[in-house]
A and B are shown apart, each in its own frame.
Chain A
């Protein structure tokens, strides 16, 4: 059922007719279809009237029907409806209207109330359609990423099968690793789709314990092949063995989004620095992830909106494809964990900025700190 149909079926206080396929009007929640309409509908004049008022351009109501009732046409998207079977005040006039007013006193209504409702439902419909389109485009964006990654899996497996059959299929040394990593990235996208489809999925508190550094380290390993392919130097450093309490199904989305974005937008031959750190903030110890890289600049407005709605800056859009969901999903997941994300941009030149993405979450335990670990170079 479309949004338009739902708005009328579930919410119209007045009797209404579907002008796209005229049939006997339906009763509203407050005002029924006049019994007179039920008697005369089969005569054909009502259907002809509805077809007539459905023609573009749609007229504003009230319009008097052949039997003296008033109707207000309304277009909602591709469908047309009419609030109908009413005796308006002020009256439209005529003997028929006077007769109907005596037959159907419960159908008398103040004209301006109807006009107001019609305007409100049109506005509500527009907002609901926009919201639906936005949700759909988020999902479509994530599905696109899945298909793109699946390309690697399919092609690599095809090469392997051809090679097994004795065909020189040009199998590369790291083919299987790339397919494996692509498959893991597909999993990440599926997790992101879960979050998009159901942001309220985590209503209880997080219960899974994870070593923060291990989560980040695993994510870095997943992205190494794609970084290598782009000639981007992906480095991980940090000293933390702290544990955090998380939702195991979604927590890894945050480092994944940060690192994926950094690699995607990093110019060829540059570096993406990933580090894990600990900080004392507000009398608690927090553990965090920082990703620093170069990328296309964003305007001040775009920078402010980065975490708050599905957005890709103008410069970013022209440089690389993407669903635009990543940071929005990361923010949803961060909020679920009572974590904090900050973004800082420093302009280097008109075409590049240095971006610093940080995420912090409260530490679960307070182990002794281990000695510093040297930066791990990319392999």
Chain B
């Protein structure tokens, strides 16, 4: 086995799903929909952090681009044509380009003709509009357990910075994550080292993803995963 591949194996070993209450505490979910979903308060009652964004012209939309959220439930219509006349589809394409860490789930009652089939193809999953509280909660918890791992955020960080995960820089980032809990200032050291790894692909989104990756690595290392 190549020595640098060991670091991915270690990150994989580090990336077991968090405990349920930790998932609910850490997970950040956004819903982009012109109408407030009926179950929003129920999901919050279960401990999820869920924010409603009404349209692309909402100020809160910028947080989606900035990697503040882990999951987005994306409606198709009525959310604004800022990114194009195909509304949800154009927003989806934009977010996939700008924020590789964000998992986007289609949240619509529509099915589409072939011209808009890309909407379901590009999203990472579907939550039916009339799915109910428990079913929606199950889907969100499953997604969070996959997402809230150092491995997912490492991949997203490499994508955000245009790096091949197997490249020297990609592997160096993995190495820094594996040492993020060392010493009182381990977090800051890891972040500084990651940001210092070349300026190519540096951006606010990449920095935000790096912070998330480091925090999740610390949680996993501390838990002895």
Residues on A lying within 8 angstroms of B by beta carbon are 133, 136-137, 140-141, 143-148, 150-156, 158-159, 169-170, 314, 317-322
Cross-interface CB contact of B109 among A137, A143, A169, A320, cutoff 8 Å: A143
A147 and B108 alpha carbons, distance in the complex (Å): 9
Q: At the interface with chain A, which of B128-136, B162-170, B176-184, B207-215?
A: B128-136
Cross-interface CB contact of A137 among B41, B80, B113, B128, cutoff 8 Å: B113
A150 and B132 alpha carbons, distance in the complex (Å): 9
Closest 9 CB pairs of A and B: A147-B109, A321-B78, A150-B130, A321-B77, A144-B109, A155-B38, A154-B132, A151-B130, A144-B110
A321 and B109 alpha carbons, distance in the complex (Å): 11
Cross-interface CB contact of B34 among A154, A170, A319, cutoff 8 Å: A319
A-B pairs with beta carbons under 8 A, tally: 78
Does A318 contact B81, Cβ atoms closer than 8 Å?
yes
Which B residues lie within 8 Å of A321 (CB)? 34-35, 75-78
B224 at the binding interface (Cβ < 8 Å): no
A144 and B81 alpha carbons, distance in the complex (Å): 20
Q: How far is the CB of A178 from chain B (nearest CB, A)?
A: 8
B37 at the binding interface (Cβ < 8 Å): yes
B2 at the binding interface (Cβ < 8 Å): no
Q: How far is the CB of A190 from chain B (nearest CB, A)?
A: 15
Q: How far is the CB of B32 from chain A (nearest CB, A)?
A: 12
Does B113 contact A154, Cβ atoms closer than 8 Å?
no
Given known A152-B38, A170-B45, contact A147–B130 (CB-CB < 8 A)? yes
Q: How far is the CB of A78 from chain B (nearest CB, A)?
A: 10
Does A155 contact B133, Cβ atoms closer than 8 Å?
yes
Does A147 contact B78, Cβ atoms closer than 8 Å?
no
Does B110 contact A320, Cβ atoms closer than 8 Å?
no
Cross-interface CB contact of A151 among B39, B55, B113, cutoff 8 Å: B39
Does A146 contact B109, Cβ atoms closer than 8 Å?
yes
Residues on B lying within 8 angstroms of A by beta carbon are 34-35, 37-39, 41-42, 45, 55, 75-78, 80-81, 87, 108-113, 128-134
Does B129 contact A322, Cβ atoms closer than 8 Å?
no
Does A322 contact B78, Cβ atoms closer than 8 Å?
yes
Does B39 contact A140, Cβ atoms closer than 8 Å?
no
Does A155 contact B132, Cβ atoms closer than 8 Å?
yes
Does B108 contact A144, Cβ atoms closer than 8 Å?
yes
A366 and B109 alpha carbons, distance in the complex (Å): 46
Which B residues lie within 8 Å of A137 (CB)? 113
Does A169 contact B130, Cβ atoms closer than 8 Å?
no
Q: How far is the CB of B168 from chain A (nearest CB, A)?
A: 44
Cross-interface CB contact of B131 among A154, A170, A318, cutoff 8 Å: A154
Given known A147-B128, A147-B129, A148-B109, contact A158–B134 (CB-CB < 8 A)? yes
Q: How far is the CB of A159 from chain B (nearest CB, A)?
A: 7
A141 and B38 alpha carbons, distance in the complex (Å): 20
Q: How far is the CB of A77 from chain B (nearest CB, A)?
A: 10
Q: How far is the CB of A175 from chain B (nearest CB, A)?
A: 9
Given known A320-B34, A321-B34, A322-B78, contact A151–B129 (CB-CB < 8 A)? yes
Q: How far is the CB of B77 from chain A (nearest CB, A)?
A: 4
Which A residues lie within 8 Å of B134 (CB)? 158
Does B129 contact A320, Cβ atoms closer than 8 Å?
no
A150 and B128 alpha carbons, distance in the complex (Å): 11
Which A residues lie within 8 Å of B37 (CB)? 151
A322 and B34 alpha carbons, distance in the complex (Å): 11
Given known A147-B130, A148-B129, A151-B129, contact A317–B42 (CB-CB < 8 A)? no
Does A140 contact B112, Cβ atoms closer than 8 Å?
yes
Cross-interface CB contact of B81 among A147, A152, A317, cutoff 8 Å: A317
Does B113 contact A158, Cβ atoms closer than 8 Å?
no
Does A140 contact B111, Cβ atoms closer than 8 Å?
yes
15 additional contacts (CB under 8 A) given A148-B129, A158-B134, A317-B81: A137-B113, A141-B110, A144-B110, A146-B109, A147-B128, A150-B130, A151-B37, A151-B38, A154-B130, A154-B132, A158-B133, A169-B45, A318-B55, A320-B78, A321-B34
A144 and B107 alpha carbons, distance in the complex (Å): 11
A sample of 25 cross-chain residue pairs with beta-carbon separation below 8 angstroms, ordered by A number, consists of A136-B113, A140-B110, A140-B113, A143-B109, A145-B109, A147-B129, A148-B35, A148-B109, A150-B130, A151-B131, A152-B38, A154-B131, A154-B132, A155-B38, A155-B39, A159-B133, A169-B45, A317-B77, A317-B87, A318-B55, A318-B80, A319-B34, A319-B78, A321-B35, A321-B78
